[in-house]
Amino acid sequence: MTVSLKTPLGICDITGDENGVSEIRIVDEEREISVNIPGFIIPAVDQLKAYFNGQLQHFDFKLNPKGTPFQKKVWEALNKIPFGETCSYLQLSKELGDVKAIRAVASANGKNPLWIVTPCHRVIRSDGSLTGYAGGLWRKKWLLDFENPPLQQELF
């Protein structure tokens, strides 16, 4: 079952069943926002709303992503990146035990089926620049700024 939710970044589709949420993705086309939401998806909808309202930093609803064992290992590592922080693809590869697997890690990161919840937007280049984001770099920048807003400079 898929439901559509309006977010500050566009329409988000949430797909799942009694076994958990298998996919959350941002879509660029307009669509009707879901009114009737099945009970097993309500926690995801509520938590995503709380996240965008600045009231939630960690998701804990039931997940059931589809992927290879390696992809799932990468996605588990992504879930350890704290809210408001970033890491590089190289750091992630080292953490997973193989610095040479950087391209495989980047590929698995790009195939993350759980937009925002598994925070692939928190992975950046080693030089600090933004790269590769399925939802568009402007959304990645928005999310990083939302999670770690720049400090207000003093006027005087």
Question: Catalytic residues, which ones?
Answer: 120
Q: Which residues of 94-111 are buried (b: 16+ CB within 10 A; e: fewer)?
A: eebeeeebbeebbebbeb
Q: Are the C-beta atoms of 148 and 85 separated by less than 8 Å?
A: yes
The dihedrals phi and psi of 141, each to the nearest 5 degrees, come to -60, -45
Q: Are the C-beta atoms of 130 and 140 separated by less than 8 Å?
A: yes
Q: Are the C-beta atoms of 48 and 3 separated by less than 8 Å?
A: no
Q: Choose among 118, 123, 124, 70: nearest CA to 97.
A: 70
User: What is the sign, positive or negative, of the torsion defined by CA atoms of 59, 64, 65, 71?
Assistant: positive
Helix segments in the chain, DSSP class H:
42-52, 69-78, 89-95, 102-110, 137-147
